Structure formats: structure tokens, C-alpha cells
Amino acid sequence: MALPPTVDLAQRDTVRLISTGRLKPPVLLPLAANFGALEDLAGLESVTNARLTAQETGLPGLDPRELVFGRPGYTFVNAAFTHTRPGGNRFNDEDRGAWYCAFEAGTSLGEVSFHLTRELEAVGRFENVTDYAELLADFFAPFHDLRVFDRSSEPALSDDPAIAYPAGQTLAQRLRVEAASNGVVYPSARRAGGTCLAAFRPDLVQNLRQGGIWRLEWQGAPTPSMTQVAE
């Protein structure tokens, strides 16, 4: 199978959503008498912090020299590549993460609400309120363009994670090895007409800053309400 074509992307204001819990002060802060003590406690916490460990030793598929430092929000960028979920995601496996975002806020909302709804379904309780903050970033680089494919015939774009994730991870590995790919642009499986991006390298995430805050609320049904609570 031929590799997908590339597109020279110049996309500003892409949207990645993260729980606002990750924007709060360090959980160890109340335990520290002063900032020196906080540094000591942070050292203890880092023993089990995947991002900090990976910054020192890397991951099986990630050289620590690929990570970024000294720029606004670098910890969020590095965390995307060092915190991986069991089984991976659509275009990354357990050995290396990726930066997932969307061209539109509505698409990011559709993506995160789908995954959290699946978690609530697993526990059999659609009762939850979660606030998400927008992380806005710009991208200026060639990306492989999966929008040229028919979603019904390309397994990596399937609605079903059981089909899409193995196929997408295989495709992403091939793109990285054979074409030194920066990442992929692809149609959202969760919002019709939406566009997503998965960046394979941390240094591609440019001009990171915080945007608005959204509240997703489930009240007994699998479809949440979505309200912007701060701009």
C-alpha cells in the first residue's frame, strides 16, 4: 500500500482539551513548609511520575533528547509523549505517545466526550461533571494527509477503536520509519466534518497557550451537555 500524500500545514489555534485538574497547584504543596521542602517532596513524587522519569531515561520508543524544555507549557507537551495508556491510542502505542488535537473546539469536545462516555458506560453510571481547558497550539510543517482516504475503507479511520487502533498504530509506525513523518491529519471519527491532527514529535507543538474552559456534564444519559464556562 502506498503511503498517503503530505500536506504543507500552516494551522494556528489547534485545540487539545485537558482536565482542569492538571492545571491546579501541585498536590504536594500543602505538605511543604517552604519551597525548599517542596522541591524535596517533588523529588519523591518524581520517582513514580512517568514524564519526569522519561525525561531522564526515555521510553522504549522515545529518546529523551526528543523532548522539549524551556518553553511555555513544555511539561504538557512532554506529558503527551511520555504518559501512554495501556494499548495505546489511534496513532501511538504504549512505547511512545503523540500530541492529539483538532482544528475546531467542537471536534475536540466530541473526541473527549466519546472517550469519557465509554468510561462511564463501563462503570454503569452516567453521572459526572468534568471541566476541560483548551490548550491552543500552532503547527507549521508537512504532515501526512489521511483525509484523502474513504473512512469506510481505511481501517485506521474506523469508528471502532478495536479496529482503528491496531491499524492506526501500524500505519503510524510505518510512516515514522519509512518517511520520517511529522504526523497525520485525519477526519474525526467523533464529529462529522471535523479535522484532527496527531503530531509525532514534541518540537512540532508551537506557541502553546491556554484557551477557554468547557464543562461536560452527564446527568443520567450517555450524551453530556457542553457549556463554555470561561473564555
pLDDT(93) > 50: yes
* Per-residue pLDDT at 42: 44
3-state secondary structure of 218: strand
Residue with cell 533528547: 65
| Rounded mean pLDDT, 63-78 | 89
pLDDT(207) > 80: yes
- Cβ density class 105-120: b for 16+ within 10 Å, e for less: bebbbbbbbbebbeee
* Per-residue pLDDT at 52: 62
Burial of 99 per CB tally in 10 Å (0-12, 13-18, 19+): buried
| Rounded mean pLDDT, 96-113 | 97
Q: Could you count the other beta carbons within 10 Å of the beta carbon of residue 154?
A: 19
Tell me the per-residue pLDDT of 30-42, one tens digit each, with 9 for 90 and over: 444 444 443 444 4
Top mean-pLDDT range of 31-45, 63-77, 211-225: 211-225
* Per-residue pLDDT at 83: 86
pLDDT(164) > 70: yes
pTM of the model: 0.86
In the chain, % of residues over pLDDT 90: 69
Instruction: Tell me 86's DSSP state.
Output: T
* Per-residue pLDDT at 91: 98
* Per-residue pLDDT at 152: 87
* Per-residue pLDDT at 2: 82
Q: Is 111 left (phi over 0), alpha (psi -120 to 50) or beta?
A: alpha
Short-list 57, 62, 49, 66, CA closest to 96: 62
| Rounded mean pLDDT, 15-22 | 86
Rg, the chain, Cα only: 18
Q: Is 61 left (phi over 0), alpha (psi -120 to 50) or beta?
A: alpha
Short-list 209, 184, 133, 193, CA closest to 9: 184
| Rounded mean pLDDT, 116-120 | 94
| Rounded mean pLDDT, 159-184 | 97
Q: Which of 27 and 5 is assigned the larger pLDDT?
A: 5
Task: Work out the mean pLDDT of the chain and round it to a whole number.
Answer: 87
* Per-residue pLDDT at 45: 44
* Per-residue pLDDT at 48: 46
Cell of 129: 461533571
pLDDT(231) > 60: yes
Residue 39 dihedral angles phi and psi, to the nearest 5°: -65, -40
State how far the Cα of 71 lies from the Cα of 162, in Å rounded to an integer: 36
* Per-residue pLDDT at 27: 44
Q: What pairs with residue 230 in β-bridges?
A: 213
